Structure 1
């Protein structure tokens, strides 16, 4: 049939019947297009070329794989796969199914929902599958999909292993939340099946065993994990250090510094590093070492982290040396490091970064002083006021107050060299007024849950935390409209009241005299300086400079250093970490299994015998062994049995010899 299209501009005879035929043809074509089948990628296609071995009336099913349905002629690779499919069917329907045949090549299931209720009444539902000699695939040979029972919350096939399989992923993510009572509640709520508390307890234990096995395999592939980091984040620095002991590679140290973090810190972060270590809480014991910076909003910016077996001088030298190479610190000139007074770290910094400004954490200094002067309650404000002094004059005044308060406290403070942790003696130009290492302590506190996880899972949690942190703050920084970060507004708002009450006197060359009571300071807006030294140390106008800015109706943002600008803040969070793949897709380093990293000796899972308390020398070995056995008493003086120290003859003889004088009195 040909389709004729009539041009309305052509003058000629009009064929009404032809137009009607054309319209019918177009409608038929549109109907064919409308009836086009929907294509789905998870449905087995139907092929007209297949042999119709099941008879001319074969019904094609459109059942998706793994949707907990069963149908005749369904094939499986093994009997275990059939059993799993039947259990999934039971979860969907809530029926009480039971396996009645266990042969090597035959398997059968039936519904026992009506068994025992009335004589001669039983549910007709049944599944029978088998693998034949000429057909190795398991196939459902008989399927009666008809239930005459009503689900009552029981299912004999729903056992511990199936519960563990359902909750293993959830337990991996949140172990503490999925307790046995919670698992029992979720099963009842979601699948309407009743299970016992003991079943849930055993399932949780089994799931934890599977998870630990997975993590042990991941630890053995630690080098593959390092290769995945390098593949997803090129030019990063990853180091897996192992020691060869008795032909095995025993884990020693791990270090990672992502390339994007390294470049961002060098390009747009202040030259400040906070370093600290904290204990791991998993079976691979050791110390987690972290190096952190500060962004333009004065928030934490992760730089590098590593794991060592013990916090000593050798490991600190190794960690600081890696930081020195990655960040280009040289001898440390122009950089600041904040840390506690750990002896190994102090030694490592003096060896690798001799010219760095190494500030000691005042919080740790106060903690050490409190051990010897816990009753001196006024010591805390006096110590912190000394640390917060911005100039040498204030430093001497606060030091004098401590001397008059308690000379012993004064002498102990002087032993800590207060010039190394007081703001008055900090180098100018770095614009960092920190005197404590609390931001690294805060970061370590956020890793409490991560440090309880197995080794590779812990590293992945830290990496993911850093990735998400950067992504969130990237949105925050790029949507901020002010010229300075919110931290600047917070600082200036705290100084607004004092600055608004200041009296300003103008001089030449952009210099001003600012008075507040008896206090008088000299401010220069051109050189961004104030004689109180606060502006030079912090990089944000002090209360005296802010008073001048308010008096002259100037913009405070114009007198803030570039480290706290929004443009710098955006640079901090322009580049982030690239997501990584799971263990299934890690590159293989192609090393023999004997070279896989092993946990350090003595750090593996302890048995119950290892965890038992060791008994004392004279403690009865049969104590609490049996309720029927009598406890054997031992003497604490002579160590013999059947008497205690009160009835000890050795003690009595010794006391008599002391009471009786060796010579008669005159």
Structure 2
């Protein structure tokens, strides 16, 4: 190890992304040492290898690493054959306890000398926060195998990516809002009206959307077993953003980065839980308070002890308290009574029917006790590489074949269709100048800022049956798992 590398190693440990010119300036300021640019680059490479490990050498450690994981977390399935798969038993147990059999599936590309992908499956807990389920380091691309693994699972496509696919032909806020309006409808009659509006304005767009199964992108056709009506797969985007520091690390360092992040997240959630009073978790309490506020203006007509007609300023629904269903289906989709159901529950109490408080009708997914039980499942710590037991496998793992591409590798994220034009609307401070939306445009959520999981040609994309070959974004998948399919993991 060179003296320059030994000197700059503390700098790299504290600031991994420290520029080369800044290192040169520090050496000149502290030691009056003038060094060439290439010498500093070599020294930084040596120091980085010393800190994070050697890319090539770490490919000989996965078996020992897996044995150490199994020793500390018995029962965790771990496999390796041109890929490594990690799923901790405690995290799997916690996922089942959430009560939402929902997985968002996505991947991100590695940035080191040996290219590959980190595939992740991320759940969502009752507090509307991510719950990472399993990780897989793959060397030869993403293979769509969800139907083979979860034959009884329900699949949803990210609505943002469906919108990205249609931008090449139908661009603008009018078409965007028509799509979102149809996707957000929770009942079939309202969904049909939204589709008829699309058909009236743009018949070709209506035919294009009909090629996509309604069960994959519209709340009106979602089942209620996931207890979540989400239209986006941004839970995976959130997780990928948190592990961005592992993308350019050697394989073992990358896996350890991800394991430590999940461990820290569990600890941070438990600190938040200690401050909560219940009975519902913080996010559910906030949402349910808004629901009760809207329910206070509803008028209720009692038909039977179980059936009610609830009328509001712009809606009228039939509520069946016994089966926990009603015309707008929001209770079915989320497991949380909406304003119509809350109004009916209050009316039951006024008529001397023992209904309890509205919070008692909320699904167990949103209860503080359930949330705490989920995060009682922690990942056990492991020893360092020097204490790992060498694997007795007679074969030695070697790094995958790597072909260096011509030209300098691209590191900037590819912009989506129309994204460059959108960036021009932001001022120098990073904020978008406020402006009034056109009166003919329906407002939509502004926090939809996701990027694509990959690209494919129109003729190969199962969602597109068109003659053109324009590149389109492949919608990310959200998998809803039945009990039998999950137990087969």
Fold shared by both chains (TM-score > 0.5)? yes
Q: Does 1:350 align with 2:113?
A: no
Shift of 1:400: 0.9
| Structure 2 Cα separation of the partners of residues 184 and 581 of structure 1 | 38
TM-score (ref. length: structure 1):
0.56
2:59 aligns to what?
219
For 1:39-438, list aligned pairs within 5 A: 161-168=2-9, 170-172=11-13, 174-177=15-18, 179-181=20-22, 184-185=25-26, 188=29, 193-196=31-34, 198=36, 203-208=43-48, 210-211=50-51, 214-241=54-81, 252-312=82-142, 316=143, 345=144, 348-374=145-171, 376-438=172-234
Give CA-to-partner distance per residue, 1:494-553, whole Å, 9 cap, x none.
Answer: 434432222223343143321113521122444433221111111111121233456658
Once the two structures are TM-superposed, the CA of residue 482 in structure 1 deviates from its matched residue by 0.9
User: How far apart are residue 350 of structure 1 and its match?
Assistant: 3.0
Question: Residue by residue, what CA displacement relative to the aligned partner does 1:217-259 show, whole Å, maximum 9, x if unpaired?
Answer: 2222121111111122121111111xxxxxxxxxx11111111
Residue of structure 1 in register with 2:401 after alignment: 601
What is the CA–CA distance in structure 2 between the aligned matches of 1:187 and 1:574, rounded to whole Å?
51
1:574 Cα shift? Answer: 0.3
Distance 1:588 1:509, change over 3 A: same
Q: Structure 1 pair 217/377, CA: closer, same or farther in 2 (3 Å)?
A: same
Distance 2:218 2:251 in 1: 39
Q: Distance in 1 between matches of 2:378 and 2:273?
A: 13
Three-state SS of the structure 1 residue aligned to 2:287 is helix
Q: Deviations over 1:151-198 (max 9, x none)?
A: xxxxxxxxx93342143255256420364425744885xxx5433364
- The 2-side partners of 1:209 and 1:278 are apart by 23
Give yes or no for the alignment of 1:572 onto 2:377: no
Indicate the SS of the match to 1:578. Answer: coil
* Other structure's SS at 1:371 match: coil
The runs of 5 or more residues in structure 1 that have no matched partner are: 1-159, 242-251, 317-344, 614-666
Question: Would you say the 8 A contact 1:183–1:200 is kept in 2?
Answer: yes
TM-aligned CA deviation for residue 406 of structure 1:
0.8
TM-superposed CA distance for 1:378, in Å, is 1.0
CA distance in 1: counterparts of 2:331 and 2:52, whole angstroms: 54
Q: How far apart are the structure 1 equivalents of 2:106 and 2:202?
A: 32
Q: Secondary structure at the match of 2:168?
A: helix
2:387 is the counterpart of 1:582: no
Aligned mates of 1:187, 1:569 — CA distance in 2: 54
Structure of higher CA gyration radius:
1
Is the CA contact (8 Å cut-off) linking 2:122 and 2:134 kept in structure 1? Answer: yes
TM-score (norm 2): 0.75
Cα distance change on mapping 1:214 and 1:401 into 2, 3 Å = same
Structure 2: which 5+ runs fail to align? 351-355, 410-489
TM-aligned CA deviation for residue 263 of structure 1: 1.5
Counterpart Cα distance in 2 of 1:449 and 1:498:
44
Contact 2:97 2:370 in 1 (8 A): no
Say if 1:232 and 1:397 are closer, same or farther in 2 by CA, change over 3 A: same
Residue 120 of structure 1 corresponds to none
Q: CA deviation at 1:579?
A: 1.7
Report SS of the residue matched to 2:16.
coil
> How do residues 441-590 of structure 1 correspond to structure 2 at under 5 angstroms?
441-517=237-313, 519-549=315-345, 555-590=357-392
Correspondence for 2:483: none
Q: Aligned residues, how many?
A: 401
SS at match of 2:246: helix
Secondary structure in structure 1 of the residue aligned to 2:398: coil
- 8 Å CA contact 2:88, 2:379 repeated in 1: yes
How far 1:571 moved relative to its partner?
Answer: 1.0
SS at match of 1:523: strand
Are the counterparts in 2 of residues 360 and 421 from structure 1 also a CA contact under 8 Å? yes
Residue matched to 2:456: none
Residue 461 of structure 1: how far off its partner (Å): 0.8
Distance 1:187 1:555 in 2: 70
Cα distance change on mapping 1:308 and 1:214 into 2, 3 Å: closer
What secondary structure, in the 3-state scheme, does the structure 2 residue paired with 1:372 have?
coil
d(CA) in 1 for partners of 2:376, 2:328 = 36
Give the 3 Å change call, closer, same or farther, for CA 181–424 of structure 1 in structure 2. Answer: same
